[in-house]
Amino acid sequence: MNVFSVLRVTRLEMSGFRWWLQICRFFLSALLFTTLAGCSSALTKIETWDGEPANALNAAILKAPGVIHVNRVNGRSMTNYLMDDLALDYALLPGENEVVFTYKTIWAKSGVVNNGESKVHVIESKPQVVRFEASPNAVYRFEFAKPKTRRQAEDALPEFSAAIVGADGQALARSSNWSGIDKPLVASTSLTLGEGGDDGEALANSEDVSPLNRLKAVWETASEEEKKAFLRWAFE
């Protein structure tokens, strides 16, 4: 076999190799796209409860746009994501729900920006809280005034408030400034108390309540000495 024959065979082999490489790249790209799409779908829907409650199958959905950052739901801290403008759906258990959130908008600065200086104006509200009754499988959204300029956003910030709106466009509740204290959601547990029964004791002994809510209930009924003793035990 002469040199030219060897070169022709080598070129054919290289062409076949490139063809297979292109095929592999195509399938890898398709697989990556499918994986990212699945991750994106899972990422944008956040469960707001612990464990596996039975009524989770009929969970309602609260849609939060990118400017609404949900911090807590029913006393449970929500995950903070790197992308501030990410729109998320929050799955809520049917019944009374408490949602703590902030409103945050970003506006580009005009003119020259010095080195090290932020290129944007960040306008953020104080924490807001809204409480409403969620129906099974219902879809809710935030409704609020949308400023067209930074000046409008700054002027409206002290009185900012958002409403929770159902699919029919009716407002169920409106937010107010959050005091930093979560409201115990005793009514949503639908417990039956016996005669002379204590709410905290009933919550603590109920299997329908999450361990976190049971601890909160017991804490509310504990004396100051019992609370101190618990804290000493917890931090030993």
110-154 tens-digit pLDDT:
777 777 778 888 999 999 999 999 999 999 999 999 999 999 999
Type of residue at 109: K
The confidence score (pLDDT) of residue 6 equals: 45
Q: Where are any strands of DSSP class E within the chain?
A: 45-47, 60-64, 68-73, 76-77, 88-92, 95-108, 120-124, 128-134, 139-143, 163-165, 171-174, 176-177
Token pair belonging to 44:
């944008």
Query: Is the separation of the CB atoms in 114 and 156 below 8 Å?
Result: no
| Domain assignments of the chain as residue spans, ordered by start | 1-42, 45-177, 187-234
pLDDT, average across residues 57-77 = 95
Type of residue at 57: L
* Sign of the Cα pseudo-torsion (46, 188, 75, 98, in order): positive
167-195 tens-digit pLDDT:
999 999 999 999 887 776 543 443 333 43
* Sign of the Cα pseudo-torsion (214, 216, 221, 223, in order): positive
The confidence score (pLDDT) of residue 231 equals: 74
- CB atoms near residue 205 (< 10 Å): 13
Residue keyed to tokens 């809280």: 129
Q: How far apart are CA 8 and CA 189, in angstroms?
A: 78
Token pair belonging to 232:
């000493």
- The verdict on pTM exceeding 0.75 is no
The confidence score (pLDDT) of residue 187 equals: 38
Query: Is the separation of the CB atoms in 103 and 125 below 8 Å?
Result: yes
Per-residue DSSP letter, 135: P
Mean pLDDT of the chain: 76
